[in-house]
A and B are shown apart, each in its own frame.
Chain A
Amino acid sequence: MNHTPTTEQRLWMYRHMVLSRYLEERIESLYMEGKTPVFNMAKGPIPGEMHLSNGQEPCAVGVCVHLTPEDIVTATHRPHHIAVAKGVDLDAMVAEIFGKATGLAGGRGGHMHLFDAKVNFSCSGIIGEGLGPAVGAALSRKLQGKPGVAVAFMGEGAANQGAFHEALNLAAVWQLPVVFVIEDNAWGISVAKQASTAVPRNDRRASAYGMPGVHVADNDVEAIFSAAGDAIARAREGQGPTLIEIETARLAGHFMGDGEDYRPKGEKEGLKQRDPIPRYRRQLLDAELLDDISDTDLVEQAHARIEAAIRFAQDSEFLPPEAALEMVFV
């Protein structure tokens, strides 16, 4: 079935892409503080690894627009766009990225380990390890007779991890309400998809597990919306899991500080020209769902919201160091 978003949904998707992008632009510049001229990951207000998701926002909004806070999402080491679209508390999320007391985990988790139980969001830095928990959450809903679907996001690199195959089979054999979403950005760090994956498209692997496999080309917001709408509706109706692979684009390096020498010349420039956010803006302007004034308004509001979250994080304190000993158990 071809789902068409309502105007409200279209603007919601656009707004959340803008929010996520601006958040990452701000993180990018704050992350570099203290890291020039010598790039040392341990320095600056945001130390550690930083995996940006810019370019991949359509995957997050096209899926999450169909979800309610009760639905479950598991994400990856590249989680910001999905967290924003799932409605994770922005202030607490940014504070966590800064390692502050007011962060989601008081600074214990950081950017790769964001947990917001209020909206059933979590992520993990181990490739392929979000799938099992999504299957289990779906099982839990089934056992408790509660509504809700679980969506496991992953990169295309994760589709070669054992957990991927085990989780797909498990979800299918138990007909659980799960949607597996692969964000195919063509690269796993420096290794190209075709060098690591024996089939050109991972959605074809779905047939091995008796579930529908859907492919979405060209990072297209509304095509993602439609495919995800179908899959989530099927899951809600008790018709079992679906695998979706989305062709998307990683506009940044694998992590900040990545020299990206492995990319073919011109690839990045080409991807930037097809940046999904200006593309979608154009689409909305052409459809007269947006005009320059309402666009400026929306963008300014999004920026103000992010600036507020960043200020909140910056103004927050760190927990006392001894708090490191707390929360191992509850």
Chain B
Amino acid sequence: MSMTTTGAGTRKLTIARAMAEATAQEMRNDPRVFVMGEDVGPLGGVFGNTRGLYDEFGAERVRDTPISETAFIGAAVGAASDGMRPIVELMFVDFFGVCMDAIYNLMAKNIYFSGGKVKVPMVLMTSTGGGYSDAGQHSQCLYGTFAHLPGMKVVAPSNAYDAKGLMTAAIRDDNPVVFMYHKSLQGMGWLGTEKGATVPVPEESYALEIGKATVVREGHDVTLVSLAAGVHHCLRAAQALEDEGFSAEVVDLRSLVPLDRETIRASVAKTGRLIVVDEDYHSYGVSGEIIASVVEHDHACLKAAPRRVAYPDIPIPFAPTMEQWALPNADKIVDAFHQMMLS
């Protein structure tokens, strides 16, 4: 693939390009790596994250599949256990319903059932998120659903730098990794694009450790914890709060499994306030887990009850008026902070 370089360390990539670049670099180094999924071949993926791979590596290693998710995700488990390192794509995470058995009963459990003797080095990449009126079967995040089930690592980057490093790490990992990329961050013009996700990305290969959160903005009045698209809402809210004279710290989780509880706790210990922002459903999910992780460790560090800005417990509506109303955004985060300061 050709990349435009604007100078060392300043070349910006979209998440889609960063994922494709990490994949290409690993495929060049390791003949065991191959890609399977719907429209990942000549089309380069509906969300652009396999663009260029088919031209470089051909149809044998970049395989368009039938619409048979149970079969090809199950096949990835089999190939991974037999010494290959497959990367498979579930086009929208919402489609997990037709193939979850291959994911959570096979991919996520075979290592354990074999007492660690069988490895499952595979990456399941899948798109998440809404905001563009694709309704309730094409807009979910389902972070909590995947993170809840033991046996698979789960990552969800908020920018292209992290996406490349996490993708490389995921491919090299001997465990199954679910790589969840948010559609609004992909840099596909037709989905509208969060500018903050397109950042400088080094050309050389690098891996980021899976399971490390990062503080993307420092502050001392409140900790805003989120992942993927939510991080950008938090950064906008932090900016708005700064204008009001408050300083918000923003923690980008990057990984849900393993979850970096230390970084979250350290931040909340400093700020004394916690707001979790999650585009996934409110109940039984990531936001509850983050809050519990802080509170069960030390509730005395909190100056106020923690809050969450999450998706209401409803299927995602089509009408833009309803969908936009239901989605988390910077205003809701600022509001949550105000409420917190009032109580």
Contact = CB atoms under 8 A, between A and B. Distances in A.
Interface of A: 38-43, 47-49, 99-100, 106-113, 124-129, 157-158, 160-163, 188-191, 195-197, 257, 261-262, 318-319, 321-325, 328
Given A318-B319, A328-B315, A196 B65 contact: yes
B83 interface: no
Is the interface on chain B under 10, 10 to 19, 20 to 34, or 35 or more residues?
Answer: 35 or more
A111 B135 CA distance: 9
Interface string B94-135: 110110000000000000000000000000000000011111
B317 A196 contact: no
A127 B39 CA distance: 15
A127 B69 CA distance: 10
Given A100-B319, A109-B135, A197 B98 contact: no
B172 interface: no
A127 B138 CA distance: 12
A161 B315 CA distance: 24
B64 A191 contact: yes
Contact of B67 (A49, A188, A190): A188
Nearest to B193: A40
Contacts of A322: 325
Contact of A189 (B38, B189, B314, B318): B38
A318 B314 CA distance: 18
A80 B200 CA distance: 44
Given A49-B138, A108-B319, 7 more contacts: A40-B189, A42-B320, A48-B132, A108-B315, A161-B67, A318-B321, A321-B324
Contacts of B132: 40-42, 47-48
Contact of B325 (A111, A190, A324, A328): A324
A253 to B, nearest CB: 12
B322 A324 contact: yes
Contacts of A257: 190
Contacts of B313: 328
B120 to A, nearest CB: 21
A76 to B, nearest CB: 12
A152 to B, nearest CB: 16
Given A128-B67, A189-B43, A190-B42, A113 B95 contact: no
A190 B39 contact: yes
Nearest to B325: A321
A73 to B, nearest CB: 19
B192 interface: yes
Contact of A99 (B41, B43, B133, B325): B133
B322 A107 contact: yes
Chain A residues touching B, majority SS: loop
A107 B319 contact: yes
Nearest to A161: B67
A262 B321 CA distance: 35
Contacts of A100: 319
Interface of B: 38-39, 41-43, 46, 64-71, 94-95, 97-98, 131-138, 189-192, 312-315, 317-326
Nearest to A109: B318
Contacts of A161: 67-69, 98
The listed residue with most A CB atoms (<10 A of its CB), out of B64, B135, B189, is B135
Contact of B38 (A106, A124, A191, A318): A191
Contacts of B326: 321, 324
A44 to B, nearest CB: 10
B319 A319 contact: yes
A206 B28 CA distance: 44
Contacts of B324: 321
B64 A110 contact: no
Nearest to B71: A162
A196 B325 CA distance: 40
A38 B322 contact: no
Nearest to B139: A48
Name, among A48, A160, A328, the residue most crowded by chain B CB atoms within 10 Å (CB to CB). Answer: A48
Given A41-B133, A126-B137, A162 B42 contact: no
Contact of A126 (B95, B133, B323): B95
Contact of B191 (A41, A191, A261, A318): A41
Given A319-B321, A324-B326, A190 B43 contact: yes
B66 A157 contact: yes
B80 to A, nearest CB: 21
A262 B67 contact: no
Contact of B318 (A39, A113, A197, A328): A113
A106 to B, nearest CB: 8
Contacts of A324: 312, 314, 317, 322-323, 325-326
A13 B52 CA distance: 45
Contact of A262 (B42, B46, B97, B131): B42
A24 to B, nearest CB: 18
Given A41-B132, A190-B43, A328-B313, A196 B67 contact: yes
A197 B68 CA distance: 11
Contacts of B97: 126
Nearest to B132: A42
A166 to B, nearest CB: 11
B189 A191 contact: no
A162 B68 contact: yes
In the complex, which of the residues B64, B66, B131 has the most CB atoms of chain A within 10 Å of its own CB atom?
A: B66
4 closest A-B pairs by CB: A110-B318, A107-B319, A99-B319, A321-B325
Given A47-B320, A128-B98, A318-B321, A40 B64 contact: no
Contacts of B192: 40-43
A321 B321 contact: yes
Given A126-B97, A128-B67, A157-B66, A113 B136 contact: yes
Nearest to B134: A48
